[in-house]
Amino acid sequence: MKARAGIGATAIAAALFLTSGSRADVAGMDAAGSLQAQLTVARNTLLQHFREINDRSGLAPALQERIDSDVTGVAMSAKPAWMDQRSFVDYNTVMVRLDQSIVDQLASGRYHDIKAVRGADDLLMKSPVDGSLQPVAVYVPPSYDASRPVPLVVFLHGRTASENDVIASPTVRAAADATHAIVVAPYARGDSQYVDPASVDVYAALDLAAKSFNIDRKSIYLAGHSMGGYGVFIVGPKHPEDWSGVMAVSGGMVTETANDAIRGFAHLPLYLVVGSEDQIVPKGYMKKNADLLSGSGLEAHYYEQPGGRHAIDSLAVAFQRAWHDMLSRHPMALITPTPAPAATGAPNLGFPSPSPAPGPTLHT
């Protein structure tokens, strides 16, 4: 009887576990279906106002491609094995809301005021290069109090990703919440490798945020993921005096950008983050970056996530540690500048420019 009772209890527990799992699966599929329906509405709006949207921004084809990609990306079958369902749904819920926001604004001609943003939004700024409307995604933590200065992180997105991928990341938003930091992620002309005019748009996004919020001018940071990690070493050295620190995630210097970065970042701390199982960045490449920077007299910190892959959300522990280390200090005030050694030639990092094109940020 005891044995039968034990078997019965085990069977009941197994049944409850399976039922719970089934309910979670159903909830996930329901969420995906709802998000796909919202994307369909956004796509229909885009197609109905395609000409007006393109006249206003030149982005209608790119937005259509983005929405079409997200329709398949929100399906539960697209969830990477390393990501839990709740985080996956959270990521996609924010992504879809931002997709809808940018389409609605461009279709209606009524644009959101960055000063009114709380939480996540994707809005438009006028580029100083050509007067075109360029997207910039913004995250303002719930704790923001306009009477108190807060840090600002300008975050460069990866290739095949968009400004919305940055803000949709639960890891990025959690880090921002914990440090009361505002995050702005400029579109920067898409897959531009951050060459001009993209870098001009990055600094325009910085200026817009600095004028719109109460920003601590000694706590302004530049970060980037994948192509954006490569991009910080192009964008940052143009005006290094604007930054208090730089973070590169799953992407770094290449031979062509190393000398400018070493000279430009001579007085700044740098934080390099990578996953041990990154399938895009060659193994040892980010450590080679860190060693070169340190050997050139710069302050460089290296963080490797065991088992981490290319995506930010697979690097949560290492990413948040690097983020907290960067924002916990005021290097403009605390670091005594020491000139970096004069560069005599481009160091060969064995990684040509531009960096390889990864797949979507979330799914790798």
Summarised one tens digit per residue, pLDDT across range 258-267 is: 999 999 999 9
Q: Are residues 268 and 297 in the same domain?
A: yes
Between residues 17 and 307, the one the model is more confident about: 307
Whether the predicted pLDDT of 340 surpasses 50: no
Same domain, 53 and 145: no
pLDDT at 9 over 80: no
Rounded percentage of the chain residues whose pLDDT exceeds 90: 81
One domain, residues 230 and 93: no
Percent of the chain residues past pLDDT 70, beyond the cut: 83
Average pLDDT over residues 281-310: 96
| Residue 234: per-residue pLDDT | 96
Q: Would you state the pLDDT for residue 265? A: 97
Contact criterion met (CB below 8 Å) for 298 and 273: no
Range of the domain at 124: 115-364
Q: What is the mean pLDDT of residues 84-102?
A: 97
User: Among 110, 141, 164, which residue terminates a domain?
Assistant: 110
Report, as an integer, the average pLDDT of 53-68.
96
Is the pLDDT score of 13 beyond 80? no
Do 101 and 121 fall into the same domain?
Answer: no
Regarding whether 12 and 124 lie in a shared domain, the answer is no
Q: pTM of the prediction?
A: 0.87
166 and 95 in a common domain: no
Do 124 and 10 fall within a single domain?
no
Residues 6+ apart with CB under 8 A from 254: 230, 233, 349, 351, 352, 353, 354, 355
Q: Indicate if the pLDDT at residue 27 is higher than 90.
A: no
With 50 as the cut, is the pLDDT of residue 337 above it? no
Quick one: 103 and 132 in the same domain? no
Mean pLDDT, range 90-103, rounded to an integer: 97
Residue 203: pLDDT over 60: yes
Residue 22 has pLDDT above 90, yes or no: no
| 14 and 149 assigned to the same domain | no
Nearest to 161 by CA among 187, 181, 142, 140: 187
Asked if pLDDT for residue 200 goes beyond 50, the answer is yes
Which of 51, 84, 110 finishes a domain? 110
Among 110, 141, 172, the domain boundary falls at: 110
pLDDT band, residue 333 (cuts 50/70/90) = very low
Do 98 and 198 belong together in one domain?
A: no
Please tell me the predicted confidence (pLDDT) of residue 25. Answer: 65
Phi, psi dihedrals of residue 81, rounded to the nearest 5°: -60, -30
Question: How many of the other CB atoms lie within 10 Å of CB of 199?
Answer: 23
Answer yes or no: do 124 and 106 share one domain.
Answer: no
Give the number of other CB atoms < 10 A from CB of residue 138.
26
Q: Residue 21 pLDDT > 80, yes or no?
A: no
More confident residue, 251 or 344: 251
pLDDT at position 359 over 70: no
Average pLDDT over residues 127-133: 94
Give yes or no: residues 155 and 103 share one domain.
no
Q: If you average pLDDT over every residue of the chain, what do you get?
A: 88
pLDDT (average), residues 90-111:
97
Confidence band of 95 (pLDDT split at 50, 70, 90):
very high
Find the CATH number of the domain harbouring 316.
Answer: 3.40.50.1820
The total number of structural domains in the chain stands at: 2
- Supply the pLDDT for residue 329: 73
Confidence (pLDDT) at 29? 74
pLDDT of residue 363: 54
